[in-house]
Structure formats: structure tokens, C-alpha cells
């Protein structure tokens, strides 16, 4: 997961650090230097060195002044110029990893704001400074996680979960996986087959549920999904079931009528949790549609599917940032167990490679 983004981010960090060190014109503390060499040996990037060489020369005239400041103040001031180049590199890395443009702008802006004007005390590690800035930027964007088990524990039964999203993101499969996950955690589950539009959708959820031994409430194709899901909730109440998982038909956010239908479903079944499902491979559009769904029916949590397709993790960052809601699960494969609860801190730590 996220390997490529992780590698790139670490690259960038090193570059940030070296640029800032250059700006400082001071020898970094010995342990930090070691860290650099290791990182750079692992990720040799010749073009970066070529680009850095002329910059060093350009910096020379001001170096003297800086040294004076250094001697007097024992600290240096980071200027915009010092971080510009690595920031551009970071921007490209984020874009290449499917972080949507507006979100990238936001992260870059945050980094710039936090770094520029920072006073760096001589001796304090540059690496730490960059790492903590990047960490806080990413953490700020990813937000907190949400544990579905805790959420259900704290609610009156049955807990109703509604799944929404555009076509083909994997809602039905996700419903089956979440059903399996909850069953394994000791909850009883019923599924409402709310996708009455797409051909074969009811058969699909039916087969999944049969395999997992979960009861499905279904009407025939073309029925009113609100009615199906209402029945599912009634069934759960009558049989003391813990959780109702409501599947819905995929719909595009620019179709007013379909979004109204979803609104009606929400009114009728009154879900405790609206889960928006999108795929990890989606590009910039992920932001637009996440936003539209959030506006139309609200979103309480996000599930990102097909995360196994993509070693990058940009869409996670984009969607989480846009909706401002926690990511519940990542779908990581075709099996029923291929779903993992999402913990932002773990992801950020993994991306940045260490504890700080």
C-alpha cells in the first residue's frame, strides 16, 4: 500500500532538508548527515544534484551576510526562495499520485506557510523540521479515523448504514465485505438490496450474502429502493438484528432525479451512518463527486475501494480532505476479508517512514 508515494515523499524530504541546509550554509549536525547519506544512497537522484550545483553558486554572495547573522543570532531564517524548488517537486509528486489539484495546492500552501519565516536554530535537525511540517500537513488533511465497531456499540440497534457512490466504485462488493467484517466481530447483519436499477445487481448481492450466510431483504428489479430498505429496517427491528447494510444503485452526482431518489431513501430509512464509496484509482473527479454527494445527502464516512490496484494513495488524501470525514475502510482485493480499517496516523507514519 502507498509504497510509491512513500518512497517519493521520503525523497522530497531529503531534498527539502538539503536545500534548507544549503540556505543555512551551516554544517548539519553529524547524526543528521548520516541520515542523509543513507537516504540518498538508497534513492540516488542525479538530476537533483545537477540542479543544486548552480544554486549553490548563486547563494554565495549572500552567504557572507548569513554567516554574520548566524554568528549574531545563532539561528537562520528560512525564505520562500529556499523552499521553492523542493515545494515544486513535492507538488509534482502529489499530482503524480492522484492527489487532486486543489488539495495539492492546499498542502503546498500549508507547507510554505509553515516553513517560510521559520527560525531554524543552529543544531536543531532540519530533517525533523521538514518531517513535522509535512506530517502536520498530511494529518490535517487526512483527519481522524473512525472505528465502525465502536460506532455501532454506542448506538441504539439496529444501526442503519447507507452506502452511496457513483457507478462502478464497488458499493455492492463493499457491502458484502463490511457484512462479513461485522459478522466476524460478533454483530448480526441484514442487507437491503437497494440497487433495483442495474441489471444483475440483486443477484450479485444475493450470491454474496448466501455465501456469507447473511439475510437479504429484496424486492424485484425496478422496485422503489426506499421501500426495500424500509423493509430491511423493519426486518432488523423484528428480529433483533444489530446492523442494517443498505446497498444502493450507483448514480452520477449531476443527475438531479437520482440524487433526489437518494435523498428520499435517506428520509425513509433514516440511516445512522451514510458511507460514501469511491475508488482509490479515481483522479481529480473524486473531489468533485465526493463534494456533490456530501452536499446532496451528506456523508459521515468514506470507504475507498480498489486500493490494491494502486500503490499510490492520492485519492485517499483528496477525498478525505474534500469531505472532511473519516475514512472507514480500504478495500484491498477480491476476497471477503480484503478490507482493512483505515487509521490515518498509521498511514502517515508509513508514508513518512518513521515515528516523530
Partner 1 sequence: MLDNLGTSLKDAVKKLAGKTVIDRAAVDELVRDLQRALLSADVNVKLVMQLSQAIKQRALEEEPPKGMGVREHVLRIVYQELVRLMGTPGEVTLGPQTILMAGLQGSGKTTTTAKLARYFQRKGLRVGVICADTFRPGAYDQLKTLCDRISVPCFGDPNEPDALRIVREGLPKFRKLYEVIIIDTQGRHALEENLIEEIVNINEISHAEHRWLVIDAALGQQASEQARRFHEAIGIDGVLVTKMDGTARGGGALSAVSETQSGIVFIGSGETIEDLERFDPDGFISRLLGMGDLKALVERAEEAVSAEDIDVNAMLKGRFTLRDMYKQLEALNKMGPLKQIMSMLPLGGMQIPDDAYDITSTKMQRYKVIMDSMTPPELDDPSMIGSSRIQRIARGAGVTPDDVRDLIKYYKIMQRALKGMRGMGGGKFNMQRMMKKFGGPSR
> 311-330: which residues touch partner 1 (CB under 8 A)?
312, 314-315
- CB-side neighbour CA atoms (13 Å) of 50: 4
- Round to whole Å and give the CA distance between 4 and 313: 9
Closest CA to 96 of 276, 313, 263: 313
C-alpha cell at 223: 422496485
Minimal distance, residue 296 CB to partner 1, in Å: 13
**CB closer to partner 1, 120 vs 253:** 253
190 binds partner 1 (CB under 8 A): no
3 binds partner 1 (CB under 8 A): no
CA 296 from chain centre, in angstroms, equals 21
32 binds partner 1 (CB under 8 A): no
Of the residues 188, 288, 298, 349, which one makes contact with partner 1 according to CB under 8 A: 288
**CB closer to partner 1, 306 vs 325:** 306
What is the pattern of x (binds partner 1, CB under 8 A) and - over residues 139-158? --------------------
Q: Are 121 and 15 in contact (CB under 8 A)?
A: no
Of the residues 109, 168, 213, 324, which one makes contact with partner 1 according to CB under 8 A: 168
C-alpha cell at 242: 444489530
263 binds partner 1 (CB under 8 A): no
Q: Are 166 and 255 in contact (CB under 8 A)?
A: no
> Which residues make beta-bridge pairs with 339?
331
- Round to whole Å and give the CA distance between 190 and 241: 7
Of the residues 236, 275, 282, 296, which one makes contact with partner 1 according to CB under 8 A: 282
**CB closer to partner 1, 82 vs 310:** 310
**CB closer to partner 1, 147 vs 203:** 203
> 192-251: which residues touch partner 1 (CB under 8 A)?
198-208, 221
**CB closer to partner 1, 124 vs 207:** 207
335 binds partner 1 (CB under 8 A): no
Minimal distance, residue 167 CB to partner 1, in Å: 6
> Which residues make beta-bridge pairs with 277?
303
334 binds partner 1 (CB under 8 A): yes
Helix (H) or strand (E) holding 306: none
254 binds partner 1 (CB under 8 A): yes
CB atoms within 10 A of CB 52: 14
Helix (H) or strand (E) holding 125: none
C-alpha cell at 188: 448480526
Of the residues 144, 167, 270, 337, which one makes contact with partner 1 according to CB under 8 A: 167
Minimal distance, residue 260 CB to partner 1, in Å: 10
Look at the alpha carbons of 81, 86, 87, 89 in this order and tell me if their dihedral is positive or negative.
positive
89 binds partner 1 (CB under 8 A): no
C-alpha cell at 347: 498511514
The DSSP 8-state label assigned to residue 304 in this structure reads E
- Round to whole Å and give the CA distance between 259 and 42: 50
- Round to whole Å and give the CA distance between 184 and 336: 11
- Taking CB under 8 A as the binding criterion, the range among 62-70, 94-102, 106-114, 234-242 that sits at the site for partner 1 is 94-102
Q: Are 191 and 223 in contact (CB under 8 A)?
A: no
Locus of grid cell 459478522: 183
**CB closer to partner 1, 92 vs 356:** 92
Q: Which residues are near partner 1 by CB under 8 A?
A: 92, 95-98, 100-101, 166-170, 198-208, 221, 252-254, 256-257, 279, 281-286, 288-289, 292, 305-306, 308-310, 312, 314-315, 334
Amino acid at each position: 500500500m502507498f509504497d510509491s508515494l512513500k518512497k517519493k515523499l521520503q525523497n522530497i524530504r531529503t531534498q527539502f532538508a538539503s536545500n534548507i541546509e544549503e540556505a543555512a550554509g551551516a554544517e548539519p549536525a553529524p547524526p543528521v548527515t548520516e541520515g542523509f547519506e543513507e537516504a540518498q544512497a538508497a534513492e540516488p537522484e542525479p538530476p537533483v544534484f545537477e540542479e543544486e550545483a548552480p544554486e549553490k553558486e548563486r547563494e554565495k554572495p549572500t552567504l557572507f551576510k548569513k554567516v554574520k547573522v548566524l554568528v549574531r543570532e545563532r539561528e537562520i531564517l528560512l525564505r520562500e526562495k529556499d523552499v521553492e524548488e523542493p515545494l515544486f517537486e513535492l507538488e509534482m509528486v502529489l499530482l503524480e499520485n492522484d492527489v487532486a489539484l486543489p488539495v495539492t495546492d492546499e498542502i503546498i500552501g500549508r507547507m510554505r506557510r509553515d516553513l517560510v519565516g521559520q527560525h531554524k536554530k543552529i543544531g536543531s535537525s532540519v530533517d525533523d523540521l521538514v518531517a513535522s511540517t509535512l506530517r502536520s500537513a498530511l494529518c490535517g488533511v487526512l483527519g481522524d479515523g473512525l472505528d465502525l465497531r465502536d460506532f455501532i456499540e454506542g448506538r441504539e440497534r439496529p444501526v442503519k448504514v447507507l452506502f452511496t457512490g457513483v457507478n462502478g466504485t464497488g458499493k455492492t462488493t463493499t457491502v458484502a465485505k463490511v457484512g462479513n467484517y461485522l459478522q466476524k466481530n460478533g454483530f448480526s447483519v441484514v442487507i437491503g438490496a437497494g440497487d433495483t436499477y442495474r441489471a444483475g445487481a440483486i443477484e450479485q448481492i444475493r450470491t454474496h450474502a448466501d455465501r456469507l450466510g447473511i439475510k437479504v431483504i429484496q424486492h424485484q428489479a425496478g422496485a422503489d429502493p426506499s421501500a426495500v430498505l424500509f423493509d430491511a429496517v423493519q426486518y432488523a427491528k423484528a428480529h433483533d438484528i444489530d446492523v442494517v447494510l443498505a446497498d444502493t444503485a450507483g448514480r452520477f452526482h449531476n443527475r438531479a432525479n437520482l440524487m433526489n431518489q437518494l435523498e428520499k431513501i435517506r428520509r425513509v430509512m433514516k440511516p445512522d451512518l451514510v458511507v460514501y464509496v469511491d475508488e482509490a484509482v479515481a483522479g481529480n473527479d473524486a473531489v468533485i463527486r465526493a463534494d456533490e454527494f456530501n452536499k446532496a445527502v451528506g456523508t459521515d464516512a468514506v470507504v475507498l475501494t480498489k486500493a490494491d490496484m494502486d500503490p499510490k494513495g492520492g485519492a485517499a488524501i483528496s477525498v478525505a480532505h474534500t469531505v472532511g470525514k473519516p475514512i472507514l475502510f480500504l478495500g484491498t482485493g477480491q476476497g471477503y476479508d480484503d478490507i482493512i480499517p483505515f487509521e490515518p496516523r498509521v498511514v502517515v507514519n508509513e508514508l513518512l517512514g518513521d515515528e516523530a
